């Protein structure tokens, strides 16, 4: 079609040149042809531009690139591992093994389930001679005596007191797994990261559209896709990939379609990987428009699901009022988890379902009020993900494995984690307010509530807001005794709350922002995908404060410098698993945590962001 059009134009251009010329010479004709060809080339270029534009109009691409430098500093990082042990079970089994409680294994399969003492001398432990043929109980007590004499003496004393008191029932108690708390300061003076987000939009029909966003977020000099598991921030999983520095490849952060005004009504439907990150009021500190649907104070977490919305304002007359019901899935319990082997590894698992309501109560472009209420049903003890296994846990829980891997302390094998059991449900609610004044002053406030509803089950790191109770068990070959989580300490419902406030003030060349948030002991939001280098500040069980200055270079570029200070009061920020423990108790050695804990931390950062 384009070629035909060009030939037609060439013919029209030749008509006047041939009709009015008297006996044109060959040179004149060649000159006219050269001029016409030049005009045709220019015309062709002009035609190609709208054609290219029409083609690219089918999908519109946009995005941003952020380069950031963080100076990260942790104060009083403490590793003091320990577990809650059912000493009633353990002491009873040890007494049976020592022949202090009569019984017959032939008629009672549970009798002497840990075996018997053969070579370990309870009366004179130092005189014990342990060989490869010694029993599992012999080896356990002897190894503890050799490796941690203080813990061994405490255990033996408590056992003697229990036996001397007539072997009464006793509650679970803490058992430390290290000689003393190990505390230090950690400074990472400079860490560079690059984040690229590539967005896309396409109009499918008058009232249907597609939206998507790809994300790459990486540390400079690191594309290993996994991190050594020294905190919950180092756990790479589906819901947090967009905020985790997992390497130099693009991940699908969002991919969904919108179907608006269905059948001429006020209903709309949206299905796919949801825009559930960077919700209000996060747009202020991100220096962008509202980036997600739910409140960022409560939800900053990727998930796949469905939204059904209704424009309530068309009925109530309240400006910008929209009600949404959202449903999604946070964990798939069977597919990909080895169920074909017919083992019981997934017997206690269920799909984790997410559902609730998100309502824009009022929105006139300056004043915005939002209410959120949702529930996470059948939460498991850690969504499946990838981590690099720390050598320290082999030392604590797998001495046979540690005997080999201790020779390679920096060789951390990468492993896919599958949770073990459903631990309960989480209820969450929030009410947020933002206001943008005509003079550029912006301010916001949000209050939120979380409720942990445990079911009494627990995995390695605990139940829902409660610790695991461990029992001693003998390995299948009878060679060693190890600790197994069997239940949660309790199934008490726990409530938490969070407060988030901030202002943004016009300033020379840009704007200044001040923000503060607080989370209580059991505060448990879904904000793990927030890409703060030290972990989501909004998940802090304690205090967090941020100050920043945004320098506007032009409409598509800005520089941001600032800092975030964290003051943790309780352990477990960002995780629903395990009982929150006071940080000061971990530091003093009166309480224990399987994960390292941080007292205070701060992050000084500078970044440059370009939008395209």
Residue 274 contacts residue 293 (beta carbons within 8 Å): yes
CA distance linking residue 229 with residue 413, whole number of Å: 11
For residue 112, what pLDDT is reported?
92
Distance of CA 190 to the CA centre of its chain: 23
* Continuous segment of H or E residues that includes residue 354: strand 352-363
Which H or E run contains 36? helix 26-56
Q: What are the residues whose beta carbons fall under 8 Å from the beta carbon of 524, sequence distance 6 or more?
A: 426, 450, 452, 465, 496, 539, 575, 576
How many other C-beta atoms are found inside a 10 Å radius of the C-beta of residue 612? 10
* Contact status, residue 77 vs residue 185, Cβ threshold 8 Å: yes
The secondary structure of 516-541 as a DSSP string is: EEEE-TT---B-TT---TTS-GGG-S
pLDDT of residue 17: 45
Closest CA to 603 of 537, 559, 507, 530: 537
Closest by CA to 428, choosing from 553, 505, 519, is 519
Strand pairing of 510-519 and 352-363?
unpaired
Of 231, 353, 244, nearest to 303 by C-alpha is 353
Q: What is the DSSP letter of 148?
A: -
The tens digit of pLDDT for each residue in 456-476 reads: 999 999 999 999 999 999 998
Residues paired with residue 363 on neighbouring β-strands, in sequence order: 368
The 3-state DSSP class for residue 483 equals: strand
Closest CA to 561 of 285, 352, 293, 316: 285
| CA 578, chain centre distance (Å) | 16
Write the CB contacts of 168 (distance below 8 Å, at least 6 apart in sequence).
162
pLDDT at 13: 45
Low-confidence ranges of the chain (pLDDT < 70): 1-24, 40, 42-57
The pTM of the full predicted model, rounded to 2 decimals, is: 0.88
Q: How far apart are CA 86 and CA 94, in angstroms?
A: 12
Place of tokens 């922002």: 513
Which secondary structure element, helix H or strand E, spans residue 448, and what is its range?
A: strand 442-454
Residue 46 pLDDT: 62
Phi then psi for residue 37, to 5 deg, are -65, -35
What is the distance of C-alpha 130 from the center of its chain?
A: 46
Tokens read off for 133:
């043929």
Name which of 564, 556, 560, 555 is nearest 511 in CA terms.
560
pLDDT, position 24: 63
CA dist 68 to 46, 219, 419, 554, 556, Å?
41, 10, 34, 18, 17
Q: What would the two tokens of residue 358 be?
A: 């998100």
Check residue 57 and give its pLDDT.
62
Instruction: Give me the long-range contacts of 282-285 (CB less than 8 A, separation at least 24).
Output: 284/434, 284/442, 284/444, 284/502, 284/504, 284/513, 285/502, 285/513, 285/515, 285/546, 285/548
Which three-class secondary structure string do you get for 103-120? Answer: CCCCCCCCCCCCCCCCCC
Q: Which two tokens stand for residue 77?
A: 């990082």
Residues 583 and 601: their CA atoms lie apart, in Å, by 13
Where do the domains of the chain lie, and which CATH numbers do they carry?
Answer: 2-56 (no CATH), 60-82+182-611 (2.40.160.10), 87-171 (no CATH)
Beta bridge partners of 502: 444, 515
28-31, long-range: CB within 8 Å, 24+ apart, which pairs? none
Q: Give residue for tokens 């019984």.
A: 103
What's the pLDDT at 262?
97
Indicate the DSSP class of residue 95.
H
Distance CA(580)–CA(521), nearest Å, equals 6
Determine the Cα–Cα distance for residues 113 and 5; give it in Å rounded to an integer. Answer: 91
pLDDT score recorded for residue 21:
47
> How far are the Cα atoms of 86, 174, 305, 471 from residue 468, in angstroms, in the given order?
10, 11, 32, 10
**In the prediction, which pLDDT does 602 show?**
98
Tokens 């950062």, located at residue = 605
Q: Report the alpha-carbon distance of residue 481 to residue 463 in Å, rounded.
A: 23
Phi, psi (degrees; rounded to nearest 5) at 31: -65, -45
DSSP code, position 240? G
CA separation for the pair 529, 571 (Å, rounded): 19
pLDDT score recorded for residue 23:
59
């Amino acid at each position: 079609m384009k070629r035909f059009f060009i030939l037609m134009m060439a013919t029209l251009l030749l008509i006047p040149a041939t009709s009015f010329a008297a006996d044109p010479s060959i040179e004149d004709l060649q000159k006219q042809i050269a001029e016409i060809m030049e005009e045709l080339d220019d015309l062709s270029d002009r035609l190609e531009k709208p054609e290219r534009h029409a083609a690219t109009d089918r999908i519109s691409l946009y995005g941003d690139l952020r380069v950031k430098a963080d100076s990260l500093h942790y104060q009083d990082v403490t590793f003091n591992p320990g577990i809650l042990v059912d000493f009633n079970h353990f002491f009873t089994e040890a007494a049976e093994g020592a022949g202090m409680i009569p019984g017959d294994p032939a008629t009672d399969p549970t009798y002497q389930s840990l075996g018997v003492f053969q070579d370990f001398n309870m009366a004179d432990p130092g005189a014990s001679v342990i060989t490869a043929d010694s029993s599992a109980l012999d080896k356990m007590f002897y190894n503890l005596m050799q490796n941690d004499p203080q813990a061994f003496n405490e255990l033996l004393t408590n056992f003697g007191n229990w036996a001397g008191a007539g072997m009464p029932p006793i509650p679970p108690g803490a058992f430390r797994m290290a000689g003393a708390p190990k505390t230090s300061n950690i400074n990472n003076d400079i860490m560079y990261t690059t984040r690229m987000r590539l967005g896309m939009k396409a109009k499918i029909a008058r009232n249907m559209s597609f939206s998507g966003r790809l994300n790459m977020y990486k540390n400079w000099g690191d594309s290993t896709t996994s991190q050594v598991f020294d905190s919950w921030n180092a756990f790479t999983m589906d819901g947090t990939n967009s905020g985790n520095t997992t390497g130099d490849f693009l991940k699908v952060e969002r991919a969904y379609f919108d179907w608006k005004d269905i059948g001429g009504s006020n209903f709309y439907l949206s299905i796919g990987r949801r825009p559930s990150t960077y919700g209000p009021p996060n747009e202020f500190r991100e220096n962008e428009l509202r980036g997600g649907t739910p409140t960022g104070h409560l939800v900053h977490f990727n998930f796949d699901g469905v939204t059904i919305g209704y424009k309530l304002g068309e009925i109530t007359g309240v400006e910008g009022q929209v009600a949404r019901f959202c449903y999604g899935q946070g964990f798939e319990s069977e597919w990909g988890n080895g169920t074909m082997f017919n083992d019981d590894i997934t017997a206690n698992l269920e799909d984790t379902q997410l559902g609730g309501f998100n309502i824009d109560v009022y929105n006139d472009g300056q004043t915005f009020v939002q209410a959120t209420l949702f529930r996470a049903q059948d939460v498991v003890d850690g969504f499946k993900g990838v981590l690099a296994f720390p050598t320290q846990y082999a030392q604590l829980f797998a001495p046979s494995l540690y005997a080999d891997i201790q020779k390679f302390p920096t060789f951390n094998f990468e492993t896919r984690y599958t949770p073990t059991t459903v631990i309960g449900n989480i209820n969450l609610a929030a009410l947020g307010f933002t206001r943008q004044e005509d003079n550029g002053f912006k301010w916001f406030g949000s209050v939120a509530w979380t409720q942990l509803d445990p079911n009494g089950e627990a995995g390695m790191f605990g139940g829902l807001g409660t610790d695991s109770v461990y029992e001693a068990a003998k390995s299948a070959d009878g060679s060693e005794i190890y600790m197994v989580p069997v239940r949660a300490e309790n199934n008490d419902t726990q409530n938490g709350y969070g407060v988030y406030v901030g202002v943004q003030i016009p300033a020379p060349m840009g704007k200044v922002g001040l923000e503060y948030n607080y989370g209580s002991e059991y505060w448990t939001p879904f904000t793990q995908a927030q890409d703060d280098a030290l972990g989501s500040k909004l998940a802090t069980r304690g205090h967090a404060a941020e100050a920043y200055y945004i320098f506007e270079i032009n409409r598509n570029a800005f520089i941001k410098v600032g800092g975030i200070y964290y003051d943790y009061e309780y352990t477990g920020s960002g995780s629903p698993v395990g009982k929150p423990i006071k940080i000061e108790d971990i530091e003093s050695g009166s309480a224990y945590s399987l994960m390292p804990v941080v007292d205070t931390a701060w992050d000084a950062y500078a970044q440059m962001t370009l939008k395209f």
